Structure 1
Amino acid sequence: MSKHVRRIAWVSILAIAGFFALWMAIDRVLYVQQGAYLASLYQTFSDYQGTVATKRLAADNHVTFTVLDGKTTGTRAKLLTKLVDQQRTIMGHTTTMSVAGQPEQVYVGRRNNQFVGVWQRRATLFEAAPIVAWSMIIVAILGLAALLMLMQRRHRYWVGHLDKMTGNLARIEAGGVPESIILTPDSPFLAMGKQIESLHAATEDLRSKAEIRQATFGRLIDHLPLGVMLLDANRQVLLANSAMAALVGHPILEAKHDYFDDIKTYRLARMIEHTYRNQKTHHKELTMLNTQKSVDASVIALNRGTSDLQVLVILYDVTYLRQVEQMQLDFVGNVSHELKTPVTAISGFAETLLAGAKDDPQTLDQFLHIIYDESSRLTQLITDILTLSRPDSGQVQAKPVNVQALVTDALQSLKQPIAEKQLTINADVPDDLAITTVPAKFSQVVRNLLNNAVFYNRKDGVVTVTAKADEKNLKLSVQDTGIGIAENDQERIFERFYRVDKARSRHNGGTGLGLAIVHDMVLQLGGDVTLNSQLGVGSTFTVTLPLTDLPSFYKG
């Protein structure tokens, strides 16, 4: 049974009890008044006892007089005798006795040693005032009904407002807008309503600030170059950024899920499990299974010693660093190897000459030419290495350069090898074509491309140089009919010391750095270089340089 039902039951019981108490009080008043009336009739009867007037008095007032004189008989006489015998102090008082099943009120008096009883039917509210009695009953019923209706209405009022306010609190908790409630100034819920409105405003403010912080934090995490993943105590992924997705090799769901769905690398998963078990930070460098990227992995235990343990996984991509380290090792090894060849040749031929070969003029002349060629190659190698290793200078300024003049100067320096191979040179460069650039770097590009086209060309081959410009870019193409480059070698042709045919390259006097210099210089000038080649047919190198969008540190 609910509290409301119990409350209605108790109110009903109290109302009924109150009604009956009022009814009994009215009956008691009637009883007292009837007793006083019977006492007055007894006094009158005593004055006129034994006369005809007593009978008329009894008839007019609907009473019965009983005198215990030993002669009177009947029910009332017996009841009066019994009453007097039992209660000697009854004289001068009234009491109620049942006569033939009807309650009668009797007043007992004593006169001349005779007990006199004045009997009259007990006066009740229904007998004295039936309209008033029925009116009281109807009013009581209507009043009880009105009271119950008022209680029910009040109950609905309280329950309705409480339900609305509870619903508003739930909406505030869920991030929604509370329902409007109209409250009167004397409403008991007015203060609570104002507090809920204040709570809603404060919650919205906190939620707005939290969203801003979350968005800022999310943007920060997403833009970190580190892979970040946060796990809860149940090994569920709470947070992961795009860098982490790139390292594991697939998108990471935003919803909670086991980290096993993302971490497929055994060594990393074992580090995470060890962190959960011993709650210590672990650090190790490893290779990701799906992407084959080298990462510096740190697995950190957060909230250690509590039930809210969290694990933070941070992966730093060191693939490029390892590649650079390997490139450095390869470069040092290649430089050592390339320097060793001419130095060994110079040393060997010099030693041979010192051993006596200098006495033969023909041998001396031959060996000196070889020493000269190897020293020239060594000088060119050192120059190319210095060109690649020399950093850009902020003091270098761009200047206008005539492309045709630069091409002509470069071909003039290659006049001897061109004549030896009987090459045909086709130059399609406008006389007035000029570009604002860094002369030294652009010269390196042109000379190395022409060197490559001449040295790797076949006998009686063709070298075609084409230059043209549009509104934005200059395009310079150098085409040869040489050995060509296989497709699987084309991606690596711009690497330092990479040669398609190492033996033939050295024989042609190449250092293996020419195309690497072209690539670096073009990038520094803000341009691009592409290759189109077919093995045994020839190669075409195309350089695209901007006419206006030169890197800022080259501008005056």
Structure 2
Amino acid sequence: MSSRFKRRLAWTGITFVAGFFLLWFGMDRTLYQQQGDHLSALYQTYRDFDGAAAQVQPLAKDNHVTFTVLKGKPTDRRGTLLQDLVNRQRTIAGHTTTLTVNGQAEQVYVAREGTTFIGVWQQRATLFSEAPAFAWTLIVVGVLGLLAIATLMIKRFHYWNGHVEKMTSNLARIEAGGVPEPIILTPGSAFMAMGKQIDALDEEMRHLRDKVAIRQASFDRLIDHLPLGIMLLDDERQVVLANQAMGTLVGHQIAAVKHDYFDDIKTYRLARMIEHTYRNQKTHHKELTMLNTQKAVDASVIALNRGTDHLEVLVMLYDVTYLRQVEQMQLDFVGNVSHELKTPVTAISGFAETLLNGAKDDPATLNQFLQIIFDESTRLTQLITDILTLSRPDTGQAQATAVKVAEVVQTALVNLRKPIEEKNLTLETIIPDDLTLTTVPVKFSQVVRNLLNNAVFYNRNGGKVTVTATTDDKSLLLSVADTGIGIAENDQARIFERFYRVDKARSRHNGGTGLGLAIVHDMVLQLGGEVSLSSQLGVGTTFVVSLPLADLPTFYKD
């Protein structure tokens, strides 16, 4: 119970008690006035009888009245008190007052006849003396009234306080996002308007929370699907927001709860950028490599709310690893092309110079050197052709037509007849004669030719080449298997890279350019298919090409 209510209850009780005593005093005053009028009337009767003792005595006895006449020296207590009263207040004549006689209050009416003062005495009338039942009833009613008022106030206090507490609790529930507790209110309740306002507030807050939840979900989806890493730090260097891309770049999943960014950022250069941003409130930008993932990132650290006490820092990391790899691949490609072109050009230039210096006069040497120059120029031409095939895609339309797979394979094998005979290879083709494929003939021919070249040149003497073609409901499966040197497991992931050779010395000896399998990979992708391999070192290699049977349009454009 609050101190305010206690004060109100105390003042209400004091007011009620004061009112009760005022009522009691008023009734007592009325009795006093009535008794004074009664004593005055008795005095008039006394005058009418002219003070005859025989006649006045019954009157006094019936009314419990004593008459005192001041003549000479007073002989009793009442006379003494009346004499003192008259001496003190000569104007008391014709009025009543209360004096104490022998410990009891008596009301006296003072009259004057010439120089003689007469006092008419009677015991002071009170509610308890005149109407004791009424007096006790009045006291009981007063006490019960006081208790009733206190009970009503306490009940009213609990009613008001209970409703206020419930409404306060409901406001707290609404603020916390909970459901308010229902309150039953009568139509005339003083809380009806407030209850309606709380219900309206609850409805509005639900609507706003739904909108915020939708926007937050959209924002979270947007942040999570951004290709760059996002991390937001507050003024206490705590992580308040991070997306999945940031977790990928730092190498672990970032906790959703607030925590120090040092738990996630282990790269010193990035942490230093963040600290400089906090100290200087300036944006920093730099390209660096993440410690845990070794990913190259373009990092931007941006200061938000600059000039305020709530500085925030936004960290954005853009993964440029693929771009740097492409750049490196381009540099490697240029270097490889330069190296590959330099070898035949150097050979042609050197043997031509030797011939010009006199070797042409020796017919045997002349024929040998001219053959070498021819072989190197052929290899140079093939190298340039392969480079152009990979580096310059067709700009026009290539017509997709139906080709017989067996004929394409046989045509490619005719060009390999000489190396096949030199290595004494066994050929096995398992291809139905009526098997056809709707594709771009030139590209499909390049795929077949390069796979067969690879199977022949890297095969062992007396080995075997097996070419198989089958179909299912959607695709053609072309398999080229050999019993050659095989490919180590750590080389298989790079076998389709340009200029990558498993056996570099042997590849150059066989006239290979290192681009055959790269051409196969690019051509298969352009035709909408896939290529895979299985190999065991020293046992052999099998390449499997999967091409769609009817997905290509009549005219296929690269």
What is the identity, as a one-letter code, of the residue corresponding to 1:55?
A: Q
Q: Distance in 2 between matches of 1:14 and 1:251?
A: 72
Query: SS state of the match for residue 397, structure 2?
Result: coil
User: Corresponding residue for 2:281?
Assistant: 279
Q: CA deviation at 1:548?
A: 4.2
What is the identity, as a one-letter code, of the residue corresponding to 2:27?
A: I
**1:32 and 2:37 matched:** no
User: Do 1:38 and 1:107's aligned partners in 2 also have CA atoms closer than 8 Å?
Assistant: yes
User: Do 1:394 and 1:553's aligned partners in 2 also have CA atoms closer than 8 Å?
Assistant: no
User: Corresponding residue for 1:526?
Assistant: 528
What is the identity, as a one-letter code, of the residue corresponding to 1:6?
A: R
What is the identity, as a one-letter code, of the residue corresponding to 1:434?
A: T
CA shift digits 1:208-228 (9 cap, x unpaired): 111001000000000001011
Q: Distance in 1 between matches of 2:82 and 2:146?
A: 43
Q: How many residues align?
A: 556
The equivalent position to 1:78 in structure 2, one of 64, 77, 80, is 80
CA shift digits 1:290-310 (9 cap, x unpaired): 111111111111111212111
Change (3 A) 1:48 1:396: farther
What is the identity, as a one-letter code, of the residue corresponding to 1:307?
A: D
The equivalent position to 2:333 in structure 1, one of 314, 331, 334, is 331
User: Do 2:231 and 2:315's aligned partners in 1 also have CA atoms closer than 8 Å?
Assistant: yes
Q: Distance in 2 between matches of 1:150 and 1:288?
A: 75
1:474-553 to structure 2, matched below 5 A, reads 474-549=476-551
Q: CA deviation at 1:469?
A: 1.2
CA shift digits 1:45-91 (9 cap, x unpaired): 11213311111111122111000012652110010001001111100
User: Corresponding residue for 1:312?
Assistant: 314
Q: CA deviation at 1:549?
A: 4.7
What is the identity, as a one-letter code, of the residue corresponding to 2:17?
A: I
Query: SS state of the match for residue 119, structure 1?
Result: strand
Query: SS state of the match for residue 396, structure 1?
Result: strand
User: Corresponding residue for 2:48?
Assistant: 47
Change (3 A) 1:548 1:222: farther
User: Corresponding residue for 1:145?
Assistant: 147
The equivalent position to 1:166 in structure 2, one of 168, 188, 207, is 168
1:354-393 to structure 2, matched below 5 A, reads 354-391=356-393
1:386-425 to structure 2, matched below 5 A, reads 386-391=388-393, 395-425=397-427
User: Do 2:74 and 2:80's aligned partners in 1 also have CA atoms closer than 8 Å?
Assistant: no
Task: Tell me which moved more, 364-373 or 401-410.
Answer: 364-373
User: Do 2:230 and 2:317's aligned partners in 1 also have CA atoms closer than 8 Å?
Assistant: yes
Q: CA deviation at 1:545?
A: 2.2
Q: Distance in 1 between matches of 2:346 and 2:404?
A: 42
Change (3 A) 1:457 1:94: same
Q: CA deviation at 1:206?
A: 0.9
What is the identity, as a one-letter code, of the residue corresponding to 1:40?
A: A
Q: CA deviation at 1:553?
A: 8.7
Q: Distance in 2 between matches of 1:356 and 1:319?
A: 55
User: Do 1:46 and 1:111's aligned partners in 2 also have CA atoms closer than 8 Å?
Assistant: no
**1:125 and 2:133 matched:** no
Change (3 A) 1:392 1:44: farther
User: Corresponding residue for 2:21?
Assistant: 20
Unaligned regions of 5+ residues in structure 1, if any? Answer: none
What is the identity, as a one-letter code, of the residue corresponding to 2:510?
A: N
Q: CA deviation at 1:22?
A: 0.8
Query: SS state of the match for residue 306, structure 1?
Result: coil
Q: CA deviation at 1:340?
A: 0.9
Query: SS state of the match for residue 51, structure 2?
Result: coil
User: Do 1:422 and 1:461's aligned partners in 2 also have CA atoms closer than 8 Å?
Assistant: yes
1:260-279 to structure 2, matched below 5 A, reads 260-279=262-281
What is the identity, as a one-letter code, of the residue corresponding to 2:411?
A: D
User: Do 1:480 and 1:539's aligned partners in 2 also have CA atoms closer than 8 Å?
Assistant: yes
User: Do 2:400 and 2:554's aligned partners in 1 also have CA atoms closer than 8 Å?
Assistant: no
The equivalent position to 1:293 in structure 2, one of 292, 295, 300, is 295
Q: CA deviation at 1:552?
A: 11
1:234-253 to structure 2, matched below 5 A, reads 234-253=236-255
Q: CA deviation at 1:392?
A: 5.9
Q: Distance in 1 between matches of 2:133 and 2:398?
A: 123
What is the identity, as a one-letter code, of the residue corresponding to 2:26?
A: A
Q: CA deviation at 1:555?
A: 8.2
Q: TM-score, normalised by structure 1?
A: 0.96
CA shift digits 1:278-298 (9 cap, x unpaired): 111111111111111111111
Q: Distance in 2 between matches of 1:526 and 1:171?
A: 60
CA shift digits 1:348-406 (9 cap, x unpaired): 22223333333333333222222221111111111111111123658335332211111
User: Do 2:401 and 2:554's aligned partners in 1 also have CA atoms closer than 8 Å?
Assistant: no
Task: Tell me which moved more, 277-286 or 341-350.
Answer: 341-350
Change (3 A) 1:86 1:545: same
User: Do 1:398 and 1:555's aligned partners in 2 also have CA atoms closer than 8 Å?
Assistant: no
**1:231 and 2:233 matched:** yes
What is the identity, as a one-letter code, of the residue corresponding to 2:321?
A: T
Q: CA deviation at 1:277?
A: 1.2
Q: Distance in 2 between matches of 1:398 and 1:142?
A: 111
Task: Tell me which moved more, 269-278 or 529-538.
Answer: 529-538
User: Do 1:248 and 1:262's aligned partners in 2 also have CA atoms closer than 8 Å?
Assistant: yes
Q: Distance in 2 between matches of 1:248 and 1:551?
A: 45
Query: SS state of the match for residue 346, structure 2?
Result: helix
Q: Distance in 2 between matches of 1:554 and 1:65?
A: 148
Identity over the aligned pairs, expressed in percent? 72
The equivalent position to 1:106 in structure 2, one of 103, 108, 120, is 108
What is the identity, as a one-letter code, of the residue corresponding to 1:59?
A: K
Q: Distance in 1 between matches of 2:349 and 2:124?
A: 156
User: Corresponding residue for 1:458?
Assistant: 460
